[in-house]
Amino acid sequence: MNIQLDSQGRLKHFLGIEGLSRELLVEILDTAASLMPVNEKAVKKLPLLRGKTIVNLFFEPSTRTRTTFELAAKRLSADVLNFNINASSSSKGETLLDMLNNLEAMQCDMFVVRHDQAGAPFFMAQHVPPHISIVNAGDGRHEHPTQAMLDMFTIRQHKGDFSQLRVAIIGDILHSRVARSQIFALTTLGAAEVRVIAPFTLIPKGIENMGVTVFNRLKAGLKDVDVVMMLRIQRERMRSALLPSEHEYFQYYGLTEDLLMEVHPDAIVMHPGPINRGVEIESSVADGARSVILQQVTNGIAVRMAIMAMVLGRGHEGQSCHSS
């Protein structure tokens, strides 16, 4: 039994890409496409979630993800509460479950959760009553499923069919929840080849079992790919000796204009942000003609609107929003 689905096989929670069907992922992409025009209207509102209360519970710092979740909820006319964890009772020792019980008592409908512990959103989904939904906004090293779906949406905008695509994911594969969700999504949607490119120290053991091909040399891994997905490198990896220095990392794994000569002529460049210019990507590439990094941010609003509408049972209404 998949805890994310209700008895009809529809989304009840959105906790991870692993285990979801291709049909469900395509439904999310189609619903997001139907909601995109809302973001370009003079009045950026739909009544789909009017009367619903959504709580953003971010136990880790976030600007881009939290803001786009908040915008998405407000564009669906939901009431939104951004919970300040540092000023909450959790800083006084309150357990996660006690916090959840108290927020439930305020008649909330959905919790959007980011947590540094893998599995925290699953734990919450197991303990909330049936009328409450949980959406994972990133948990530990486990998954970041809404980021992966906005990435898939952006790829489909530019490339259409996934079945002919070679995709390269480059950077800290070992610690990246984004990479895990991207790999699950790409393999489920039928991408022809998914490559991961990183130093030996940042490749998890057994990752080939996820259906990917491993490269340790960037130039070889980029050969003829259609999509280049960069990952952010955290400076703590240098301090923990997993990488020698920012300068050396950029020398061997930084994406430059010269290296783009290896990719397919129509390839696009992606990054989940925030980017480290001169560490994982050259500024001229981040701002260049192939870059779709800012489109990813824009698309994140529509994709999160779609997911929130679907888990609260309003996805099918959202598909008719062109006429709203």
Of 12, 13, 114, 180, which residue is the catalytic one? Answer: 114
Q: In terms of Cα–Cα distance, which of 309, 301, 310 is closest to 65?
A: 301
What does R_g of the chain's alpha carbons equal in angstroms?
Answer: 20
Of 63, 92, 205, 239, which residue is the catalytic one? Answer: 92
Spatial separation of the C-alpha atoms in residues 64 and 44, rounded to whole Å: 19
Q: Is 31 an active-site residue?
A: no
Q: Is 304 an active-site residue?
A: no
Give the position of tokens 């009045």: 43
The response to whether 64 counts as a known ligand-binding position is yes
Q: Is 156 an active-site residue?
A: no
The response to whether 217 counts as a known ligand-binding position is no
The response to whether 67 counts as a known ligand-binding position is no
The response to whether 117 counts as a known ligand-binding position is no
> What stretches of 198-310 adopt beta strand conformation (E)?
213-215, 227-230, 268-270
Of 12, 13, 52, 65, which residue is the catalytic one? Answer: 65
Half-sphere exposure in the Cβ direction for 303 (13 Å, CA): 27
The response to whether 147 counts as a known ligand-binding position is yes
Q: Which two structure tokens, joined as six digits, stand for 254?
A: 């930084």
Q: Is 66 an active-site residue?
A: no
Asked if residue 1 lies in contact with residue 289, where contact means CB atoms within 8 angstroms, the answer is no
Asked if residue 172 lies in contact with residue 202, where contact means CB atoms within 8 angstroms, the answer is yes
The response to whether 273 counts as a known ligand-binding position is yes
Spatial separation of the C-alpha atoms in residues 159 and 161, rounded to whole Å: 6
The response to whether 144 counts as a known ligand-binding position is yes
Of 144, 195, 271, 290, which residue is the catalytic one? Answer: 144
The response to whether 177 counts as a known ligand-binding position is yes
How far is residue 176 CA from its own chain's centroid?
Answer: 11
Alpha-carbon separation of residue 58 from 111, 125, 156, 182 (angstroms): 10, 16, 29, 22
User: Within 10 A of 94 (CB to CB), how many other CB atoms are there?
Assistant: 12
Q: Is 127 an active-site residue?
A: no
Which residues partner with 227 through β-bridges?
167, 268
Spatial separation of the C-alpha atoms in residues 138 and 238, rounded to whole Å: 23
Active site residues: 64-65, 92, 114, 144
Q: Residues annotated as binding site for L-aspartate?
A: 92, 177, 232
Q: Residues annotated as binding site?
A: 64-65, 92, 114, 144, 147, 177, 232, 273-274
Q: Residues annotated as binding site for carbamoyl phosphate?
A: 64-65, 114, 144, 147, 273-274
